[in-house]
Amino acid sequence: MTCRLRYRSPVGVLSLEAEAQGMSGLSFLDRGPPCPGMSGQARAHLDLAVEALETYFAGRPPRLPPLALRGTPFQLAVWAALCAIPWGEVRSYGEVARLLGRAGCARAVGGANHENPVAILVPCHRVVQAGGKLGGYAAGLDAKRWLLAHEAGARPRAAPGMRAGPSRARAPARTLPCAGPAAVRSIEGPPRHQESRWRSSSR
């Protein structure tokens, strides 16, 4: 069962999703109405995700919660590479492709970035075009610009309203470790669409 909470952040309300195996989603998109019920494991993962977000927005690199991500082997490899990009730094799509031994696949890296189900904590916003242009971002370039300025130690102005892109399809895939304190794991089979919302007392 997938469980959900809504987290009010400096860049707008975020939708967090978790299953027993770990965090499965973090987006700027409202995922729909909540459903009752929440497993202890899923709630623990959501608690860790909230702690990570509070650390992030306080201006410090967060410790990632366990992640349970679905994707193709290439997508999982890209998302693992994103976790290895240090706080406050950026990489180009081509650099990520070369890191994966797939020189010439910058466009495919961009596609995997767009399908990243866990925004901010799996930092697809740290990937930009060659030459320094921002490139794309599912929540919009204002959000990407804000996040990069935040990490660079700037004091961003009040965050603009954010809009997310279309919902992302989920597909089963293999297991791939994520660089950093958490593991990116795949889950075979489609999720059950029973979800709940929990509001943290700190909100």
Which of helix, strand or coil describes residue 9? strand
Q: Which value, in Å, is the radius of gyration of the alpha carbons in the chain?
A: 16
Report the pLDDT averaged over residues 185-199: 31
67: phi then psi, degrees, rounded to nearest 5:
-115, 135
Q: Give the Cα separation of 71 and 170 in Å (integer).
A: 7
Residues 3, 105, 124, 178: which is the catalytic one?
124
At residue 102, the pLDDT reads 94
Contact, 109 vs 129, CB < 8 A? no
pLDDT in tens, 20-50: 999 999 999 766 655 456 678 889 999 999 9
- Structure-token pair, residue 148: 């990069």
Read off the pLDDT band of 172 (50, 70, 90). Answer: very low
Q: Give the Cα separation of 181 and 199 in Å (integer).
A: 26
122: phi then psi, degrees, rounded to nearest 5:
-100, 95
Report the side by side order of strands in the sheet with 67-68: 3-9, 12-19, 22-27, 67-68, 184-185
Which of helix, strand or coil describes residue 54? helix
Q: Which CATH class is domain 3-66?
A: alpha beta
Q: Give the Cα separation of 71 and 68 in Å (integer).
A: 10
At residue 9, the pLDDT reads 94
Contact, 70 vs 172, CB < 8 A? yes
Higher pLDDT, 2 or 129: 129
Nearest to 182 by CA among 26, 2, 58, 3: 26
Residue 35 annotated in active site: no
Report the pLDDT averaged over residues 6-32: 89
Domain ranges of the chain: 3-66
| 58-62, 123-127, 128-132, 147-151, range with the lowest pLDDT | 128-132
